[in-house]
Amino acid sequence: MLADGLFNAGHVIGPRAEFPDGATPDHLPAEFTISLTAAGEAPVSLEGRHPDGNVLLPIAWLANFLSERGLGLQAGQAVITGSYAGALELPLGRQLDIGFGALGALPVRFLFLNRSP
């Protein structure tokens, strides 16, 4: 069900990541602490782990799969390779800082948009 997108409530795509301490995309950690901080609430920490153990494995598989079919990846496309924490329930309408271990933090605010006519 997860692969079919039935559990995905949404995705947040942040700015380009700068890798700390000489890390490169092929050396991203398989595990790191994910922290959730909202004003007025106690911070929450989760032990995050990539489901494949290496974030580049699914990208390499996808590139090969598409190549066998005469297709390819294009610059600017977003590729979701798996969640380090699964689906989380997060507060709506409030500032939330999501930390990704030594990789940094992403400030977000989730809003409910009613798109009915």
Query: Domain containing 38: what range?
Result: 31-109
User: What secondary structure letter does DSSP report for 102?
Assistant: G
The answer to whether residue 10 sits within a structural domain is no
* Tens of pLDDT, residue by residue, the chain (117 residues): 455 555 555 666 666 666 666 666 666 788 899 999 988 888 899 999 888 888 788 888 999 999 999 999 888 888 878 788 877 888 888 899 999 888 888 888 888 776 666
**Beta strands 105-109 and 31-38, pairing class:** unpaired
CA angle 59, 16, 49 (to 5 degrees): 50
The answer to whether residue 23 sits within a structural domain is no
Sheet holding 95-100, edge to edge: 44-49, 31-38, 95-100, 105-109
The answer to whether residue 89 sits within a structural domain is yes
Domain count, the chain: 1
pLDDT score at 96: 92
